[in-house]
Structure 1
Amino acid sequence: AKDGRDVKEYLKTATPDIIVSDIMMPYFSGIELIDYVRNQLNLKIPIIIISTAGNEENVLSAFELGANDFISKPVSPSELLVRVGRELNKK
């Protein structure tokens, strides 16, 4: 999805195995996305947040709302694959 609106539209018709999102998105932030998935849709989909905005407030907000992991940018592709694999193997 190119922005937060696309994510919301996608989630109306599909249930992905995992969500990997940035905090900073147009129209709908990653923090709002976590809240939407957990509290409005009541989905247990693993959510990994990747962001340059890895300050304590954002990290704590993400985890408090139900994010499974938070990765500060830059992140290597191999690290991302390991973290995604770890979350998918918990199912």
Structure 2
Amino acid sequence: MNNVLLINRIIPTIDDDRICNITFVIADMHLQEVHDKIIKVIDSSEYMDLNNTEINYNGFTTKQKAKLIPEIMKLLVENNLKVYGVYDLYS
């Protein structure tokens, strides 16, 4: 069986201010320390809020402006989280 996801294209110069449900796929989510670190990073971030973020088995989804994706990526990498993908799911 194929796992198929429909995603929206994000065009940085056009979609900067568009609010998206951005999903970040993070490695080792089965480890409690990674899960705890994500909560800590989100809670201390000026860009993200636990109230508009859903943490799941393979990462998290947060409602953000597209232009904040690079800043969030930087924050995740600085906290030694391994990011495998970033996308905006089609709804």
Q: TM-score, normalised by structure 2?
A: 0.31
Q: TM-score, normalised by structure 1?
A: 0.31
Q: Greater share of helix residues, 1 or 2?
A: 1
- Structure exhibiting the larger radius of gyration computed from Cα positions: 2
Q: Greater share of strand residues, 1 or 2?
A: 2
- With a CA cutoff of 8 Å and minimum separation of 6, indicate the structure with the bigger relative contact order: 2
